[in-house]
Structure 1
Amino acid sequence: MNVKTLTLAALCGLSIAGQAQAAVTSTGIINATLQLTNGCLINGSPAQSGVNFGTLDFGVHPATFSNLTATLSSGGGSSFGIRCTDGVSYTVEVVSSKNSAPTTVIGTVGTPPRYLISTTDATQGIAYSLYSDSGLSTAIDNGMLTKTSTTNNIDNYTLYGGIKGGGSSTAVKAGIYTDEINIRVTY
């Protein structure tokens, strides 16, 4: 055998060996996970802080008013609604109001005391109370609220506001008076 024949045979052998080698395939997995915790929707929102429970608007009246009432208004009408994941128990409570007692108070101070404070003169305030009924006979203290109804698996909570023994005097300053009522849902 000569050198040329041997080289040609060796090259052919390498070419055939390369063609006979199979492709290699690697397989594996990617894990996908999700952990869900119990949750509640408040007025349809899953937010856990800064939730809009609604507005207790006493309206626009002459500063010489006597008694005033207000009904909570929210996305759900005259109440706020809570719906939690199945099997979750929860509590709803009025925690506090933002304002402390001003220097001059108009109206009958309730228990606990709550004050609408003038946005232009923080020494002026109107006392008000929260109630669970439209007749303003059952005052709401800071603490647990009782649901008023359940519709489509949504528990509804209604609040009323009352100002008793108002000004009926020209000493009440005209203007806008505000407060914030803090509500907590624990589940």
Structure 2
Amino acid sequence: MPTDVDRPRAVRPGEEVDGDALLAYLRTVRPELTGPLEIRQFPSGYSNLTYAVSSGTQEFVLRRPPFGAAVKSAHDMGREYRVLAGLHPVYPKAPRPLAYCDDPAVIGAPFYVMERVTGVILRAQPAPTPADLPPASARRLGLAVVDELAAIHALDVDAAGLADLGRPAGYIARQID
């Protein structure tokens, strides 16, 4: 059921990543990388730019803010990395974060790299047809989604080291006021 929109492709003009600078940085945290890097871009998604990075048989995902991003809190790579770093040990289905770099001199902005986890991305459009997803499979998928959402919501944020993120007290009241 993966569609072409889920596959990385050539990087859009103006959104290139300096592969040599990225490889030099990555070798400081993952010395086994030999390069060269192949960098492709996931063409869809919202907000931050997402790239598929490979070196030999190793595959990673790089996330960075969009070029010219003005709202720093909306594109906080350090926060995204911290959430994954806390989440992965208590929820191993989350991708394992590999490196965070806050030095914009490397590729022009803070970024992080995580392992690449392949799978199906559920989207509203295009809606799967019965040929893509027979009713019995759709039911199993729906139940699996509910189970995973329940598992995520049951996580102990203290054990994940994420209790200080956000302001949970009064959250519902803030949403309806």
TM range (shorter): under 0.3
Q: Which has the higher strand share?
A: 1
Q: Which has the higher helix share?
A: 2
Structure 1-normalised TM-score?
0.22
Higher relative contact order (CA 8 A, sep 6+): 1
